[in-house]
Amino acid sequence: MGSIFGFLGPNGAGKSTTIRLLLDFLRPQSGAASVLGLDPWRDGPAVRQRIGYLPGEVHLPENLTGMEFLRYAARLRGVALPEERLRAMVEALDANPVPRLKTLSKGNKQKIAIIHALLLTRELVILDEPTEGLDPLVQQAFHRLLAQYRDEGGTIFMSSHVLSEVERLCDHVAIIRDGRIVEVARTESLKANKARRVSLVLDAGVDRETVSSALPDVRIVAWEGTSSILEITGDIRPLLGLLARLPVRDVAIEPASLEDSFLEYYA
């Protein structure tokens, strides 16, 4: 089983530059990189033979049809076009590879570019802001294709600033700030370290002290009459145990989000 690795950062943080370095489009002044155990600058062609790539801005050769473009990409790699896999992807994304690319809308060109990235390699695919220009339905189909690629053992390295998408898809996340990686973690553990917000409505008569003394790790953000807002980090079971004993009229627990972690680095 592979992995989906999210590469997060706001505009200008260095996401696309990092990707260009890994693909040998840019040459570093210092430092080193390793892709699939190889040096992307010394062994560029060998590395890229095993990588699929979707650029941030998709500009396809307009005079070709989608099929001609994909066949050309296969010839460039010296491999046969995997017809069955192609058919499945075309169907999944509802793409049309028959007309000339110049006649397609931005979203439909993006679909062909996605197929190009995922079709010819099984090991690693690098996606730079992959869902720009896709409608929500196609985004869902695209997410299913990514999950399938991962389940077949492939790794997806995906830059994005759409946090909800990364949160939903990625197993691991790196956050880049001013060209430096400031955090690398499993998505779940990044979220687990963040506080969850609990909105609580109790019967009259329960005071603030009852809660704070039973749960010293819980921060009481607000307490007004019967309504209160709490913040809890880590294990939620002690809170649930207490709530089971209290006269609770309503409770809402907001899950911790990746956005909280992300904003922490950029606040």
Partner 1 sequence: MTAAVFLRALKDRWPTMLALAVGLALFLGMMAWWYPEYRAQAEISMKLLPSFIKKMMGARVSMARPEGYVSWILIHPLCLAMLATWAIGVPSAAIAGAIERGTLAFTLSGPITRARFILAQVGLLVLGQAVTVAACVGAVAAMFAWHAVVLPGGLAGWLLASLQALLLMLGIGGVTLLLSAAASESANAFRPAIALMMMALFVSLFGDVFRALEPLKPLSPFSWFRPYEPLAGKETAWTAWACLAGLPLVTMLGAWQVFARRNLSI
Out of 75, 87, 102, 144, the residue judged to bind partner 1 by CB under 8 A: 75
- Could you tell me if 182 and 265 are in contact, meaning their C-beta atoms sit under 8 angstroms apart? yes
Residue 229, SS3 per DSSP:
strand
Would you call 195 exposed, middle or buried from its count of C-beta atoms within 10 A (0-12, 13-18, 19+)?
middle
Residue 179 CB, shortest distance to partner 1, in Å, is 15
Among 32, 37, 59, 205, binds partner 1 (CB under 8 A): 59
Question: Shortest distance, CB of residue 166 to partner 1, whole angstroms?
Answer: 22
Told to check if 76 binds partner 1 by CB under 8 A, we report yes
Q: Which residues of 211-235 are buried (b: 16+ CB within 10 A; e: fewer)?
A: beeebeebeeeeeeeeebbbbbeee
Cα distance between residue 58 and residue 60, in whole Å: 6
Q: Which of 44, 82, 107, 238 binds partner 1 (CB under 8 A)?
A: 44
| 130 is a site residue for partner 1 (CB under 8 A) | no
Among the listed residues 237, 234, 239, the one whose alpha carbon sits nearest the alpha carbon of residue 188: 234
Residue 41 interacts with partner 1 (CB under 8 A)?
no
Kindly tell me which residue out of 15, 111, 116, 191 binds partner 1, with binding defined by CB under 8 A.
116
CB closer to partner 1, 93 vs 173? 93
- Per CB under 8 A, does 55 bind partner 1? yes
Cα–Cα distance, 17 to 79 (Å, whole number) = 29
Residue closer to partner 1 by CB (options 78, 255) is 78
Is 46 a binding residue for partner 1 by CB under 8 A? The answer is yes
Q: Which is nearer to partner 1, 34 or 227 (CB)?
A: 34
Confirm or reject binding of residue 100 to partner 1 (CB under 8 A).
Answer: no
Binder among 15, 48, 150, 196 for partner 1 (CB under 8 A): 48
Alpha helices in the chain (DSSP H): 15-22, 44-49, 66-77, 83-93, 106-119, 136-151, 163-169, 187-192, 208-214, 237-245, 258-266
* CB-CB neighbours of 36 under 10 Å: 14
Judged by CB under 8 A, does residue 72 bind partner 1? yes
Q: What letter would DSSP give residue 37?
A: T
By rule CB under 8 A, what count of residues binds partner 1?
A: 28
Residues belonging to the chain: 267
Report the residue number, 11 or 213, with the smaller CB distance to partner 1: 11
227 lines the binding site for partner 1 (CB under 8 A):
no
Please pick, from the candidates 4, 8, 13, 51, the single residue that binds partner 1 as defined by CB under 8 A: 51
- Where does this chain touch partner 1 (CB under 8 A) — which range of 42-50, 199-207, 223-231, 238-246? 42-50
**Joined tokens for residue 225:** 């009459």
- Residue 75's contacts (CB-CB under 8 Å, 6 or more residues apart) are none
User: Which residues of this protein are in contact with partner 1, per CB under 8 A?
Assistant: 20, 23-27, 44-46, 48-49, 51, 53, 55, 57-63, 72-73, 75-78, 116
